[in-house]
Structure formats: C-alpha cells, structure tokens
Structure 1
Amino acid sequence: MPDWSYHAIFRPLLFRLPGHIARNLTLHAIGGLSRVPGGTFVIKTMGHMELSPILEDELAGVPIQCPIGLSGTLDPHGTAHKALAQFGFGFIEIGPVTVREVRNDAPIERDAECEAIVYPDGYVNEGADAIVQRLRKGTGHRLPHFVRLRPMPGSSPREALIEQQELLEKLAPYAAGFYIDGLAEGWPPDEAIAYLREVRQLALAAAPGKPLLLYLPQPTPLGMLRELTDTAESFSGVVVGEALREPGTRRERIGGGAEALTAQLSQVRLLRESLGERSTIVAAGGVHQPQDALELLAAGANSVQLHSGLVYAGPGLPKRINEAIIHDRIRQTTEPQPPSFWANWGWMSLLGIGMMIGGVLAWLIASTSVLLPYDETFLGVSRSVINRFNGHIIHFMSHDRITLAGTMISIGIFYYQLARHGLRCGLHWARTAVVTSCAVGFSSFFLYLGYGYFDPLHAAAAAVLLPMLLLTLRGLKDHPSRKKPGVLNDSVWLRAQWGQCCFVVLGFGLAIGGLTISFVGITTVFVPTDLAYLGLTVQQLAAWNDHIIPLIAHDRAGFGGALFSLAVAITASALWGVNQGESWLWWTFLWGGLPGFAAGLLVHVHIGYMDFIHLLPVYIAVLLYVVGLYLMYPFLVGRAGGEKH
C-alpha cells in the first residue's frame, strides 16, 4: 500500500469506516500478504525501500539500520510487523505491556482536521504472557524490539515495582532494550523518582546489559522535567511520549498537527540541553512529514517514532524521512565523480539510441513496403499476390509492425534517459528498472519462434544490443540521490500521488496488455475483431498460405514482448522514481510515451481499423497518460509549495 495507492484509493475508503475496523482491516491485509510465499518481495517491490549504510546508527548502544521507529500502539498485536519491517524502519516498539491483559472495546476515533487519533484506553494490550508467547514464535523480521513496560492502571509505586520486575524477567530474552513507563500514573514526584531508581536497580539484575530509557508522558511539566534530570542521567536515554492523556480518563490522543510537534520540539531541546550529548533521546510523536523528523533530529533527538503520521501521511512516510535524512547527511560531502561514459552507463545510452534507430527504421519499412525480402521468401508469394487475395492482410501486418516500431522508440527513450540520469548518478531504482526491462525484452526474442518463424533481422539486432547490456552491468555502484527530496505534505505532493497512481496503473495495464498480446500471438494469433477486420477465418488464411499465420504470429508475439518490456520500465519509474524536482523523469514519461501512443492510434486510423472495443484499452491508456503528466508536473518540474495538507 504505497502512498500513491493509499491516498488515491485506500484512504478515502478506510476513512469511511470506524477507526478500529479500518486499522484491523489494513493490518490484517498487509500482514497476511507478508506471510504468503513471495509476499515480502511484493511489499519491497512496491516500495523499493533500500536502507543506505549512511543511515546506520545506534539507539542506546543497540545497532539500528536507520533512526526511525514504529510505535507499539499502532499495531499492538504485531499483526503486520513482518510487513511493516519492510517499510524503512530501524526498530519497533512493543507496548505498552502490562502484567495482565487490558481490554477496552470502545471505538477508536479520528480527528482528521487535526490529524489525530484518539484511543479509548492507553493501557490496552494483550498482557505479558501473550506477548511473550508471540515473540517466542518469531516475528519474521530482524529489527530490534524496544519494549515499553507500563504498570497496571491504578497501581501504587510498590505494586508497580513488583509488576516491573515480572515484566523485565519475562521479556528480557526478546527485548533489545526497554522503555520504563509509569510517570503518567499521577504519583507524587518524590515517589515517582524513587520508583524509577528502584526500577533501574531491578533491571540491572533482571535484564543485565539491556538499555533502559525513561518514558516521559505528554505533557511533562517543566518543573518535573528538571527534577527528573538527575534520575534520567542514570538511564540510557529518554523517550518523549507520543500521547496526550485527557484529564480524568485513560483516553489518549496521538498526533495533533503543529501543536503536537511544537510540544515535542520544546521537550527535546530542553532534554538535550539538560542531559548533554551522551544520552539518547527518542521523539515518539509529532512526525507527520519528513520536515517534522528533520526538525526533531536537529533539535537533539537521536531518533523518531511514527504512529499517527502513518495514518494521515501514508505508509511511504518512513521512506521519505530516510531519503530526507540521507540528503541532510550528504549535502556537505563532496559529490562523487560520475563514472566515465564507457564504464557502464554509456553502453546503456547506446543501447537506447540503438532501439530508437531500430524503431525509426522499422516504422519506415512498416509504413512503406511492410514486407522484407526474407518475409516474401518465407511466404513464397509477393506483396502484390497477397493484395490480390485480400487487401486487408498487408494493412493488418503494417498495423502490428508500426505499433512495434513505436514501442521500440519509446523503450529506447526510457533506456537512454534512465542511463543518463539514473545509472550515471548511481540510482539503485534506475538500475533495477533498466536491468529488469532488458531481461524481459531480450527474453521475448524467443517468442518469435512460437510458430517456427526465425527473423534474421531481429536476431541480428539482439546480437548487437545484448553485448551493450552486458557491458552496462560492469562496475555499477549505488549512490544516494543528491537532489533534495520533498519534505512537506503539501497540496503539490498530494496531487502528485494521484498522478503517480495514474502512471503505475498505466504501467500495470500495459504489462497485462503485453502479456495478453504475446499469449494470443503464440496461441490463437487473432482476436475476433482482427478476423472481422480481415473478413476471413483462420482456416481460410491457412488454406490459402500455410506460412501466413506463423508470420503474423511472429509480429504479434514480438510486439507483445516489447510492450511488456516497456511496461516494466514505465512501472518501475513510476513506482520508485517520482521524487520532487526530478524533472528529467517527467520529460521521460512525456517523450517516452508519445511514440508508442502515436503509433498505436495513427496506424489504426490509417488502415481503417477503428473498432471501439479493440481500441478501448488504448483510449484508457492515453487518458491515464495525459492526466498523470498533468498532475505530476508541479511536483516533478515546478516548485512544490509550502502548504501542509
């Protein structure tokens, strides 16, 4: 469920459902996907979250892959932890955990205007024994767990100490570290501080070597913060809590827009000033866009945790924050020297140019003579003989070959652009897009043999272009993008999500079309509208010349394979490459789409093959193409505004 599908499709539907139903439906859907064979691969493919070594850090001495954590309250039963671990998180909070289960079936409420979630009871959890049993079975991921230990509602400090000792002993084998909660119980300050000191001593015996972080509820008064400074210094760090409790209740409000962020920033700055640089600070709330995370990190936080931001900004938020952090860390470093043209990316540029030249030549041939000499040799008849038998056959073959030619030109434009702007800069997603598309394209050559017709020209082209692909693969290295990513959830970004959705749907649609055409080409060869246009049956064609169907099948299968190859390039670029300011990608979509669509539409007009059902997929594809370009233009080419959505 990437951002483009979340905002365009799923969020409008989910926000019509009650909060607890929407949450359970979402978590069970992505959690279920992660547990089927290949499910995590699908999740990774849709998001393409590659954690860079630049992001590696530690949290209170625990190595983490990136400084972004997942709040425990978002998925209290761990239903989707295996899936969420693929989103770009470095650690996962589990909790709150109490010694016994706490239930509350009251509805979860959303305050969409303030981007907040209101939980009926901040203590709700399965209880220690159930959580231990779940962790013992395995979580399906390798991210470290930080467990938040909370006293039972209404516990006295003495009762809470006994509970904490039990929790520490049970959960120590499964926790990388602990958050010690309890300051929200309303105890007198001196009793609360004494409680924390005794918990610290208990942890040294029950969970030796495990870092303990003090969990501060929202809001913690300034005076209380100052009193806690000495105690906090004896802990490994501090967590600035995510929830604001409603007075006199156990209801907790998470999120809240600019006000929540301001409160987090204020406490983080004060804690960093008081505790110095050695203590770890986790900002557990207030992050709804990458800019929020950057501000908290700049204020002194070592890491942030996400909760309500995932609900309102979308599941791509961790990836967007990671990209912003990477840019923030490398912007002062020296830009690496780009590889020489002949090192790798230049060969892919030449392959793209070769595809464009081949497509132009194929278009010229298909719009004039249509048949090459070896085609006529294979058929045993000339073009004039075919026209005397049926004047539509040559036009029909021209239709297949011109659409193939336009697709080849489009592929060439994508390859050239992905090489020049992607491979040359070391963008991992561009390499994946090019290599996958090329693998599909070269493999589709064997479809030409489906009916036993060997095309020497296609074989020669493949023989020339394949070494260019192999030379491209030499010494490719990944580098993070040095362009500043979008850091705001503004209207321009949201609009781009709809445009991205159009192009992803277009890519998948073209892929289905390419596979369908290839399958038809190597099986039945014709669809009913083709035979209606020709005015012949398959049997009549075969009876007249038993080589005509293999020749047409060769054209159809070849076009289907090329279309699928183009679809892979479009889909990969739309899934992974849409980032603010990447104007080259917008122009790639524009110029890369024009030859294919122009060929597909103009040739049908030229030969009079205008069946509405036959052309309906093309009309839909053109609509997605135009709307997608329109919606993404401000984000990719123009300047994104600063209005927060």
Structure 2
Amino acid sequence: MIFSALSPLLRLAPVQELTRDALLKLDAETAHLATIKALRLGLGPEQTQADPPELRTTLCGLELSNPVGMAAGFDKNAEVARPLALMGFGMVEIGTVTPRPQAGNPKPRLFRLPEGEGVINRMGFNNEGHQAVFARLKDARVPAALGINIGANKDSPDFVADYVLGVQRFADLADYLTVNISSPNTPGLRDLQSDEALRRLLGEVLQARAKSRVRVPVFLKIAPDLDEAALDAIAKVVLATDLDGLIVSNTTLSRDTVQGQSNASEAGGLSGKPLFNRATQRLAQTRQRVGDLPIIGVGGIHSPQTALAKFEAGANAVQLYSALVFGGLDLLDRIKQGLAAAVRAQGKTNISELVGTRVEHWAGDATTP
C-alpha cells in the first residue's frame, strides 16, 4: 500500500501550501513519495508528551511505550523509520524488503476508494533490496521497536531461500522480523501458507535465526482470505515450532464490501476500512486456535473504537496505515488516547488486560465493535 494523501505535515513546509484536498487529487504514488520526502526533511510532527501509562506493554520481550505501530508498506526502503517513531508509533515496520532490488508491478498500481475509505494496491514488493536497506538502517537510531518485513523476489527460483537470506541479513539489526507470505501481488507467494510449504519455510527461517548472534522475534503475516480449515492447519504447524507470533492480517482479494465503488474492480489487495470486519474475524478465529501466542492485529483500523476491537478480539498490539490516508496523522494520537480511556473506563490499569475479552463475539459474524 502507499500512503496516498499528503497529510497536514506538508503545510509546515515554507515552499508548499498544498492542502489535503489538492493532494488527494494527485496520483497516489506521487503523493506518497512527496510524503516520504517531507519526512526525510524533518517536516513531520513529533510527539511532545509521554504516552499514557496504560499503554505500556511487552511484546515478545520488547518493551513498547504504546502498542500502536506503523504497518509495513509505508516505508518500504527504511527511509523514515526514525521520523515515524518520533511521531509516536510504538513500533515501526519497514519493508517489504527482498534480497535483490525490485521495480514492482507496472503503474498505475495504487487506487483509492474514497466512498468506503479503502485502498487497493498491486505494488508487487517494489523496494531497493537488502543491501540498500541494511546500509540505511545500520547506524539509525529509531526510538521505537523496529520491525523488518522480509519477502521474496518475484523471479526467485526458491522463495524460501529468499526468506532465509532476509533473516541472515537483518536478524542482528531488527527488533523483530516479519515473514510476509500473504501478499496477493506476488504470484505463488500465498501458496507458502499451505501445510508442507509452511513447515519447510518456518523450519529453514527459524534455523537461520538460531545461527544469528541474537534471538530476534519472528512473526508470520497471514492473509484474511483463509478459511477456518486453513487456519486450523496453520495453527498446527505454527504451534509445533518456536515461532514468536503472528500478524493478522494482510490485504484481501475479496470485493464483497466495496461492490459498485470507484476502482473496486481493480486487481490487487484491498485494505482500509472495508477490510476491518473480515480481518478482525480472522484475528479472533486465530486467537481461538493459538492460545497465548502473541498476535499483532492489522486491517481496517480507522478509529479508537476499531483499535479497541482488535485488542478485544485477541491482539496484543496493532498496526495501521491505510486509515491515515483519510484520517490524517492525528489519528494516531486519537487512537492512543481512546485506548487509554477505554482501559480506565473498564476499571483496568493496562491495555493488556483487555486482550481477548470479546474473542467469541468477533469470531462469529460480528459487524460492529
């Protein structure tokens, strides 16, 4: 996905008087590149107050000041990890990064669905590759948990070998790694979610992790389009390994929630508000199957209420991205303040106490928080 609306941060630039409405009329990818440039130039807002104590949490041994992260896809090449952390994200996940540089799919490849606040992308893992990203990050000081999302080159003869290379390159640099096998935009990639392929993938990835100097947490990112039988199979494989956690979920190929909307017929993965119910149901169903295994909930968060629903459905932490296109960067602060208020309203002291409190609700056919 690409952050397709330049937020109010660019209004701080002395030579740019562009408004949000004007930027929404720009090509989405052009707007995204301008946003990255603005952040590189130090034009992004910085958090000035400490996070509410109710939001401090631990995820796979990582101490987070808050459990709200920037999802992968925004900062594909690790250009602005530090500015994103300074905005107030508790974790910043960069990538997806492949071993070799990759141009991605032909343009146009990113489409807004303004009626439903959704985004369709078929980017195709466009990135500068391991070497460039490693060089950019090796001396970076990122005041948040740094996640590196690793993938495979589209033309690789062995996808699993590419993931092993990602672990070998970044295990000593990242706070956590994400094995992304759920993008719909690399042909054959989602096949790695099947039983035997997943066993081989996790076996080799975790073996590579064992040879590194540190035991970096490894997450597996799965698709929201899996049925319950597929979730059963994934849970069985995962629980037989020492994988640290799951990320639920990536984008969807379904168009059920956006039929008739502008650009809804474009190929690619759908994200944003229309994904919320599907992704949250899969999150709850996954929680039912994996016990206490840490899960990061992603997909369709667009308000404090929907962020809270992810925790109640079983997430230990959450990530967002597409909602910032329509909600602005101040959405991050609104979500954090709303989560802290929800903790207090329920007579609790920490967000971790709300994890999984409504799993049954969301594992069924729930449609509202």
Q: CA deviation at 1:214?
A: 1.4
The secondary structure found in structure 2 opposite 1:300 is: coil
Does the C-alpha gap of structure 1 residues 63 and 254 become closer, same or farther in structure 2, counting only changes over 3 Å?
Answer: farther
Partner of residue 334, structure 2: 320
- What amino acid maps onto 1:311 in structure 2? V
Q: CA deviation at 1:27?
A: 2.2
Q: CA deviation at 1:177?
A: 1.1
Write the distance in 2 (CA, Å) between the matches of 1:251 and 1:60: 35
- 1:496-515 equivalences under 5 Å are none
Residue 284 (structure 1) aligned with residue 301 (structure 2): no
Write the distance in 1 (CA, Å) between the matches of 2:270 and 2:135: 28
Q: CA deviation at 1:175?
A: 0.4
Which of 207, 226, 239 aligns to 1:220? It is 226
Residue 255 (structure 1) aligned with residue 271 (structure 2): yes
Is the contact made by 2:8 and 2:328 (CA closer than 8 Å) also made in structure 1? yes
Q: CA deviation at 1:9?
A: 6.9
Write the distance in 1 (CA, Å) between the matches of 2:147 and 2:39: 22
Partner of residue 173, structure 2: 174
TM-score (norm: length of structure 2) = 0.78
Which of 15, 28, 31 aligns to 2:24? It is 15
Deviates more, 1:198-207 or 1:142-151: 198-207
Using CA pairs below 8 Å that are at least 6 residues apart, which structure has the higher relative contact order?
2
Q: CA deviation at 1:154?
A: 5.0
Partner of residue 38, structure 2: 29
Q: CA deviation at 1:190?
A: 2.0
Q: CA deviation at 1:323?
A: 0.4
Partner of residue 200, structure 2: 194
Is the contact made by 2:272 and 2:323 (CA closer than 8 Å) also made in structure 1? no
The secondary structure found in structure 2 opposite 1:77 is: coil
- What amino acid maps onto 1:178 in structure 2? L
Q: CA deviation at 1:73?
A: 0.6
Which of 260, 281, 293 aligns to 1:266? It is 281
Partner of residue 203, structure 1: 209
The secondary structure found in structure 2 opposite 1:272 is: helix
Is the contact made by 1:122 and 1:251 (CA closer than 8 Å) also made in structure 2? no
Deviation digits for residues 186-210 of structure 1 (CA, Å, limit 9, x no counterpart): 2553223332233222222236411
Q: CA deviation at 1:215?
A: 1.2
Does the C-alpha gap of structure 1 residues 274 and 28 become closer, same or farther in structure 2, counting only changes over 3 Å?
Answer: same
Partner of residue 120, structure 2: 118
Is the contact made by 2:163 and 2:205 (CA closer than 8 Å) also made in structure 1? yes
- 1:604-623 equivalences under 5 Å are none
Deviation digits for residues 481-508 of structure 1 (CA, Å, limit 9, x no counterpart): xxxxxxxxxxxxxxxxxxxxxxxxxxxx
- What amino acid maps onto 2:271 in structure 1? G
Q: CA deviation at 1:262?
A: 0.7
- 1:461-476 equivalences under 5 Å are none
Write the distance in 2 (CA, Å) between the matches of 1:103 and 1:115: 27
Q: CA deviation at 1:334?
A: 9.4
Partner of residue 87, structure 2: 87
TM-score (norm: length of structure 1) = 0.46
- 1:403-442 equivalences under 5 Å are none
The secondary structure found in structure 2 opposite 1:228 is: helix
- 1:626-645 equivalences under 5 Å are none
Partner of residue 232, structure 1: 238
Does the C-alpha gap of structure 1 residues 152 and 245 become closer, same or farther in structure 2, counting only changes over 3 Å?
Answer: farther
Is the contact made by 1:115 and 1:256 (CA closer than 8 Å) also made in structure 2? yes
Deviation digits for residues 338-365 of structure 1 (CA, Å, limit 9, x no counterpart): xxxxxxxxxxxxxxxxxxxxxxxxxxxx
- What amino acid maps onto 2:252 in structure 1? L
The secondary structure found in structure 2 opposite 1:85 is: helix
- What amino acid maps onto 1:81 in structure 2? A
Is the contact made by 2:93 and 2:147 (CA closer than 8 Å) also made in structure 1? yes
- 1:45-56 equivalences under 5 Å are 48-56=48-56
Write the distance in 1 (CA, Å) between the matches of 2:144 and 2:270: 24
Residue 307 (structure 1) aligned with residue 312 (structure 2): no
Q: CA deviation at 1:124?
A: 1.4
Does the C-alpha gap of structure 1 residues 334 and 78 become closer, same or farther in structure 2, counting only changes over 3 Å?
Answer: closer
Write the distance in 1 (CA, Å) between the matches of 2:213 and 2:20: 42
Write the distance in 2 (CA, Å) between the matches of 1:52 and 1:70: 18
The secondary structure found in structure 2 opposite 1:69 is: strand
Deviation digits for residues 257-297 of structure 1 (CA, Å, limit 9, x no counterpart): 2x4111111111111111112x1111122111111101111
Is the contact made by 1:254 and 1:285 (CA closer than 8 Å) also made in structure 2? no
Partner of residue 145, structure 1: 146
- What amino acid maps onto 2:33 in structure 1? N
The secondary structure found in structure 1 opposite 2:42 is: helix
- What amino acid maps onto 1:320 in structure 2? R
Q: CA deviation at 1:172?
A: 1.6
Does the C-alpha gap of structure 1 residues 207 and 236 become closer, same or farther in structure 2, counting only changes over 3 Å?
Answer: farther
Does the C-alpha gap of structure 1 residues 219 and 73 become closer, same or farther in structure 2, counting only changes over 3 Å?
Answer: same
Does the C-alpha gap of structure 1 residues 27 and 191 become closer, same or farther in structure 2, counting only changes over 3 Å?
Answer: closer
Identity of aligned residues (%): 23
Deviates more, 1:279-288 or 1:82-91: 82-91
Does the C-alpha gap of structure 1 residues 49 and 72 become closer, same or farther in structure 2, counting only changes over 3 Å?
Answer: farther
RMSD, aligned α-carbons: 2.8
Does the C-alpha gap of structure 1 residues 120 and 274 become closer, same or farther in structure 2, counting only changes over 3 Å?
Answer: closer
Alignment length, in residue pairs? 318
Write the distance in 2 (CA, Å) between the matches of 1:212 and 1:116: 29
The secondary structure found in structure 2 opposite 1:214 is: strand
The secondary structure found in structure 1 opposite 2:142 is: coil
Deviation digits for residues 544-579 of structure 1 (CA, Å, limit 9, x no counterpart): xxxxxxxxxxxxxxxxxxxxxxxxxxxxxxxxxxxx
Which of 297, 305, 308 aligns to 1:294? It is 308
Does the C-alpha gap of structure 1 residues 145 and 334 become closer, same or farther in structure 2, counting only changes over 3 Å?
Answer: closer
Write the distance in 1 (CA, Å) between the matches of 2:254 and 2:153: 18
Deviation digits for residues 352-407 of structure 1 (CA, Å, limit 9, x no counterpart): xxxxxxxxxxxxxxxxxxxxxxxxxxxxxxxxxxxxxxxxxxxxxxxxxxxxxxxx
Write the distance in 2 (CA, Å) between the matches of 1:101 and 1:261: 32
Deviation digits for residues 592-633 of structure 1 (CA, Å, limit 9, x no counterpart): xxxxxxxxxxxxxxxxxxxxxxxxxxxxxxxxxxxxxxxxxx
Consecutive unaligned residues of structure 2, counting only runs of 5 or more, are: 1-6, 183-188, 256-265, 350-367
The secondary structure found in structure 2 opposite 1:63 is: strand
Is the contact made by 1:245 and 1:252 (CA closer than 8 Å) also made in structure 2? yes
Larger gyration radius, structure 1 or structure 2: 1
Does the C-alpha gap of structure 1 residues 51 and 208 become closer, same or farther in structure 2, counting only changes over 3 Å?
Answer: same
The secondary structure found in structure 1 opposite 2:211 is: helix
Write the distance in 1 (CA, Å) between the matches of 2:314 and 2:348: 25
Runs of 4+ in 1 over 6 A off after TM superposition: none
